[in-house]
């Protein structure tokens, strides 16, 4: 025996017809949905393609902006370190008056000589 005939015997003729009608309605809905999708397939494919291209273009723009920002920051840091290196290479000489220290040392020497 087939499963359908068992189902028919268990439920009776009226209930079986109602169940099979529900299945048929569901199948018809699926068929209608497939027809609608087939009818609009070109539009849907075009819309998906446009969205994919838009996403790709936006991603490229964001990546280029990020690379540009990173490059600019690196260049700016390089230029600053280069300027600091140039300023560190050329020492500046500041004249210092050491006469006070010389006078102090000479007074210490004269005191040592006088003590001897």
Q: What is the pLDDT of residues 27-36, one digit of tens each?
A: 888 998 888 8
d(CA 75, CA 72): 5
d(CA 34, CA 41): 10
What does the pLDDT read at residue 92? 73
Q: pTM to 2 decimals?
A: 0.44
Stretches in the chain below the pLDDT threshold 70: 1-25, 89-91, 115-116
φ, ψ for residue 94 (rounded to 5)?
A: -115, 125
What does the pLDDT read at residue 23? 58
d(CA 44, CA 36): 11
What does the pLDDT read at residue 59? 98
Angle between helices 3-11 and 13-39 (to 10 degrees): 130
d(CA 83, CA 90): 11
What does the pLDDT read at residue 1? 46
């Amino acid at each position: 025996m087939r499963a359908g005939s068992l189902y028919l015997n268990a439920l009776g003729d009226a209930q079986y017809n109602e169940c099979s009608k529900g299945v048929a309605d569901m199948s018809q809905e699926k068929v209608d949905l497939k027809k609608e999708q087939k009818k609009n397939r070109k539009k849907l494919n075009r819309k998906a393609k446009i969205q994919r291209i838009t996403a790709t273009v936006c991603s490229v723009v964001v990546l280029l902006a990020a690379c540009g920002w990173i490059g600019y920051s690196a260049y700016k840091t390089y230029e600053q370190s280069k300027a600091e290196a140039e300023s560190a290479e050329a020492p500046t000489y500041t004249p210092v008056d050491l006469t006070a220290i010389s006078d102090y040392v000479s007074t210490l020497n004269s005191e040592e000589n006088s003590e001897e």
